[in-house]
Amino acid sequence: MKIFKIILIVILIGAFSLGVYFGCLPSEGKRVVAQNTYFSFDTLNSNVKGIPVVLFLNGAESGITLRKNGTATIKLVVYDILGGMIGGLDLGTGIGTTSVFDMLYEYLPGLDFNDLHTIVKTFKGGLGITLLGVDPDDEELQAVFSYAAQNNRFPDQVSLPKGFGLEINGKYYIKDITSPVTNVTYTGVFMGNPHPDGESFLILELRQDELGKQQVIMDYPLIDIYLIGDKI
């Protein structure tokens, strides 16, 4: 299904930025939370391509943590039923003949999808990503990775381990930004390595709902992704 390819590409690109940012906390109006704060995904009202993420994202195990020391964690855990949904999924990115694996090889030279031990170690060391639920000695999962890397698509039958997902760790800062177009001021949470000509790749909005509860919003209209995290 196209929806899951879009999710995978967005998560990976965002992770590239998060994993390589080790700079100091910026100043000039840029701040962090006063106390560690956890946001749980509202899976019923979050969606991708209009499809509620409650169908594939384990809300009880997934969430966003912002800490007072300037670090953040995004944890995304999917239900193992997702394996049945991505069987046969093409992994082209829509950018010429580039695939998701081409992007990973570009960012992580030496990555070998025929060796789960290397995959786990390289994701952790190069991107700051922990692959959850992955046993490096799992031959069935290794076969899925190998087939996908060689064919740029998932095999027709995919079985995911229980608790499979990603844990992404990186630095962040909060800053109030006024849109030059609408003149509306919003509070942004900027995660990852800021581009020299702009802001970080991954930008979230920090706001309050109608009841005054704090929320984090991930809104990307161009690719139709809208995720809500409620403060717990």
Condensed to tens digits (0 to 9), the pLDDT of residues 47-73 reads 877 888 898 899 999 999 999 999 999
With H, G, I as helix, E, B as strand and everything else as coil, classify residue 165: strand
Residue 147, amino acid: Y
Q: What does the alpha-carbon distance between residue 85 and residue 53 come to, in Å, rounded to a whole number?
A: 13
Q: Is the pLDDT of residue 85 over 90?
A: no
pLDDT-derived band of residue 195, with 50, 70 and 90 as boundaries? very low
Q: Please check whether residue 75 is in contact with residue 167, taking contact to mean a CB–CB distance below 8 angstroms.
A: yes
Whole-angstrom distance, CA of residue 152 vs CA of residue 162: 24
pTM: 0.78
**Rounded distance between C-alpha atoms, residue 213 and residue 211, angstroms:** 6
pLDDT at 124: 82
**DSSP, res 16:** H
Both tokens of residue 148?
């996908």
Choice among 140-144, 162-166, 182-186, 193-197 with the minimum mean pLDDT: 193-197
pLDDT tens for 87-101 read 887 776 565 556 777
Token reading at 131: 């692959």
Total number of domains in the chain: 1
The pLDDT-based confidence of 20 (bands split at 50, 70, 90) is very low
Structural domain including 85 reads 2-231
